[in-house]
A and B are shown apart, each in its own frame.
Chain A
Amino acid sequence: MPQPSDRLKKDFSRHFKERVIEAILFLAAFLSVFTTTAIVYILVKESWIFFQHVPLTDFLFDTQWTPLFDDAHYGIMVLLSGTITSSMVALLVAIPLGTIIAIYLSEFAPFSIREIAKPFLELLGGIPTIIYGYFALLFVTPLLQKVFPELPGFNLLSAGMVMGVMIIPYVASLSEDAMRAVPMALREGSYATGATRLQTALRVVVPAATSGIAAAYILGISRAVGETMILAVAAGMQPNLTFNPAEPGATITSFIVQVALGDLPHGSIGYQTIFAAGLTLMLLTLVFNLIGFYMRKKYREVY
């Protein structure tokens, strides 16, 4: 005869079902760890084979990048120079404009402008990068050629500039979030001493939001370094060891696209070069992400 208290005992089937569901949900969450592991495993495995054919010193110090020629050279420096040059151009556009927009939206803009500008920036950030590539090649380059007639049809300059516009929304919206998180009391204190809006913004709010703004910049850098299609379309895909943005050039990412578009047999040395290039890119973005993480930790103001 069942006691009334039996109903309150731990029900095995109910308990078991709960545990199974929790395990399934855990596996879904753990997929992210698996993905990271798989990325590292695939990149390292293929690069390992690559580095058995190509000494690391050649990879780092050779000044030519001709992996698909008979006389093959594997100097990653050549691709890195394209990546660095185009990213610099992009950051020269995105950081000043993004910061100004962020300060304006956070400290100056009336409510109505902010309500329109934020979704608009979000829309701008959602445009596919291939569209930006088309725009850089067929709109910005001809425009620049009117000013600099000797500019080649493919160049890092217009690709970098358009890439900068693409990054503005990321920099602006993250910096703005950081500035808005600064407590009102700090601003009120500043206003009470007679400071103007600009003085408050530049001397109180921006310093207080340094960590968040730095994180926004770092994210912008890592977007620029990893951006692919704008460069593949508008910068040409010729490896070129240069830091002059007015020249065409290949980046790590556009090289990967170029190889993937061709028909390289699985397991060939050409196939493995894209993984070695990918590993370099991954390490590069990892460094920036770590710097961002460290900065956020170090300069975090606790309110």
Chain B
Amino acid sequence: MNQQELQALRTMIVAHKRWDMMFGLLGILALMIALMTFTALFADMAINGLGRISWEFLTSFPSRRAANAGILSAWVGSVLVMLVTAVAAVPLGVAAGVYLEEYARKNWVTDIIEINVSNLAGVPSIIYGLLALGLFVYTFGLGQSILTAGLTLALLILPVVIVATREAIRSIPQIIREGAYACGATTWQVVSDHIVPYSSAGILTGVIIGMARAIGETAPIITVGALTFIAFLPPAPFTGEPPAGVFDWLFAPFTVMPIQMFNWTSRPEAAFLANAAAAGFILVLMTLAMNGLAIWLRYRLRKNINW
């Protein structure tokens, strides 16, 4: 190899190394764009909304006058809807996940269920709203109520809970099951004494991520018919009109945080936009806290488990 060829080779290597470095920088730049968007979003909302956040803002009903308006009915509505969602989605999702991992035989019925679960995860959320409008509101006659909204969001996050449950169960080593079966346990005993307890932290992570998604969902709840202006709270147990059952609040009209924010965002006055920023800031904090908790839980889990 003569000197000239060697020189050519060296230049080529240097050029390729330079390309390598440039792509590394490009990667960091792309990450920075995402990071900057996030920072701008958070900062913009904090600058415009922080001034409005006060005790009054949390304990007042929405009002025609922006300065008096608050998010009391919105956050109470969100909490109650989430309660219904959790009560419906967690048992159903865990049961479905357990069935698919521990019981299901390899046949066409199982295939259909699995295809459906993964397909439902890709259905746009507004379609769930239309489903709820046709099914819960008009066919089942549940009305435009907290119950309808909670069940709708439960259907929406069911695939998330099922997938998380299955992944958590799959990480349990086979010897645990074999040990239990060898002692004469039935499938249900294995599931209830070993599988579910050992996978509970993984399931919890999935549930929290699902709930964080549900709390920010706006489109399906608008489609169901949540009102944008609610100046009263759902009836507490035994205080309804007439004073009756414990579950009157399930059938009350309601609003939720993202809808209250949407309502304020679509008004032209700057004062209402400040309210929207304040409500949005609280909403972002809530979802960040929930997602952060889930990520932390998963991190802990990965570190601490030694089978």
Tell me the interface secondary structure of chain A in the complex.
helix
Complex CA gap A256/B291 in Å reads 29
**Residue A66 is within 8 A (CB to CB) of chain B in the complex:** no
Q: Decide yes or no: A123 and B291 within 8 Å by CB, A129-B218, A285-B122 being known contacts.
A: yes
Q: Which of A27-81 contact B (CB under 8 A)?
A: 28-33, 35-36, 38-39, 42-43, 45-46
B27-A30 in contact (CB<8A): no
Residues of B within 8 A of A36 (CB): 116, 119-120
Contact of B34 among A32, A124, A197, A233 (CB under 8 A): A124
**Residue B164 is within 8 A (CB to CB) of chain A in the complex:** no
Shortest distance from the beta carbon of A5 to any chain B beta carbon, whole Å: 15
Residues of A within 8 A of B280 (CB): 130-131, 134
Q: Decide yes or no: A101 and B31 within 8 Å by CB, A25-B103, A257-B223 being known contacts.
A: yes
**Residue A222 is within 8 A (CB to CB) of chain B in the complex:** yes
* Residue-wise interface mask of A (97-122) relative to B, using a CB-CB cutoff of 8 A (1 in contact, 0 not): 10011011100110000000101111
* Residue-wise interface mask of B (205-226) relative to A, using a CB-CB cutoff of 8 A (1 in contact, 0 not): 0000100110111110011110
Most B CB within 10 A of own CB, among A35, A105, A137, A278 = A35
B130-A256 in contact (CB<8A): yes
Contact of B23 among A35, A104, A227 (CB under 8 A): A104
The number of residues on chain B lying at the interface, defined by a beta carbon within 8 Å of a beta carbon of chain A, is 88
Q: Which of the segments B65-73, B79-87, B238-246, B258-266 contacts the partner chain?
A: B258-266
Q: Which of B74-108 contact A (CB under 8 A)?
A: 91-93, 95-96, 98-100, 103-104
Complex CA gap A24/B95 in Å reads 8
**Residue B247 is within 8 A (CB to CB) of chain A in the complex:** no
Q: Decide yes or no: A281 and B124 within 8 Å by CB, A117-B31, A130-B218, A133-B265 being known contacts.
A: yes
A28-B34 in contact (CB<8A): no
Considering the complex, give the chain A residue whose CB is closest to the CB of B130.
A278
B127-A30 in contact (CB<8A): no
**Residue B131 is within 8 A (CB to CB) of chain A in the complex:** yes
A128-B124 in contact (CB<8A): no
Residues of A within 8 A of B127 (CB): 39, 43, 226, 278, 281-282
A228-B125 in contact (CB<8A): yes
Residues of B within 8 A of A101 (CB): 27, 30-31, 34
Contact of B99 among A26, A33, A35, A132 (CB under 8 A): A26
A-B residue pairs in contact (CB < 8 Å), sample of 19: A24-B95, A25-B99, A29-B96, A100-B26, A117-B31, A123-B295, A124-B34, A128-B287, A130-B216, A130-B258, A131-B280, A131-B283, A135-B44, A197-B20, A198-B23, A226-B123, A232-B262, A260-B133, A260-B225
Q: Which residues of A contact B (CB under 8 A)?
A: 14, 17-18, 21-22, 24-26, 28-33, 35-36, 38-39, 42-43, 45-46, 97, 100-101, 103-105, 108-109, 117, 119-124, 126-135, 137-139, 165, 168-169, 196-199, 201, 219, 222, 225-229, 232-233, 253, 256-257, 260-261, 266, 274-275, 278, 281-282, 285, 289
